[in-house]
Amino acid sequence: MALRDQLRVLVVDDMSTSRGLITQALDSFGLRNVNIAADGPSALQRLAASPAHLVISDFNMPGMNGLQLLHAIRSDARTRGLGFLLITGRADREIIEEGRKLGMNNFLKKPFEAPQLRAAIEAITGKL
């Protein structure tokens, strides 16, 4: 069975348009086990109910940003080992450095094309 058939992905973004673009791209790669969450707290609830292998999260979200979500994921023994891809329109050095300190696996700057998303995912998971 191919990795893309087994991989469970959680997409976290407060903008429904962005969630839709990411999930469409994932679908075009053959990734079918995709859940979505509109914010960090919802993502943590979803992960508790339905574990994932990879979290693709926006940085800029109200209440809990992507780095705060990453910190919560890395602080929980059940989710500590998940792959984490941060998507941000502000790829400032401080954000990237903080993400790396917290255990971010990769990041992608907005706007991006589907092949860039695939490459960022494959850098974490291996070939899809």
Q: What is the pTM of this model?
A: 0.96
Rounded to whole angstroms, the Cα distance separating 57 from 104 reads 11
Residue range(s) defining the domain that contains residue 83: 3-125
pLDDT of 4 over the 90 cut: no
The total number of structural domains in the chain stands at 1
**Torsion of Cα atoms, 22 then 99 then 37 then 45, to 10°:** 150
Rounded to whole angstroms, the Cα distance separating 70 from 29 reads 25
Rounded to whole angstroms, the Cα distance separating 106 from 70 reads 12
- Residue 12 CB partners (closer than 8 Å, separation 6+): 36, 37, 38, 39, 40, 42, 43, 55, 56, 57, 58, 61, 66, 69
Give the model confidence (pLDDT) of 13-28 as tens digits.
999 999 999 999 999 9
Give the model confidence (pLDDT) of 27-66 as tens digits.
999 999 999 999 999 999 999 999 999 999 999 999 999 9
Which CATH number covers residue 11? 3.40.50.2300
Do the Cβ atoms of 12 and 69 come closer than 8 Å? yes
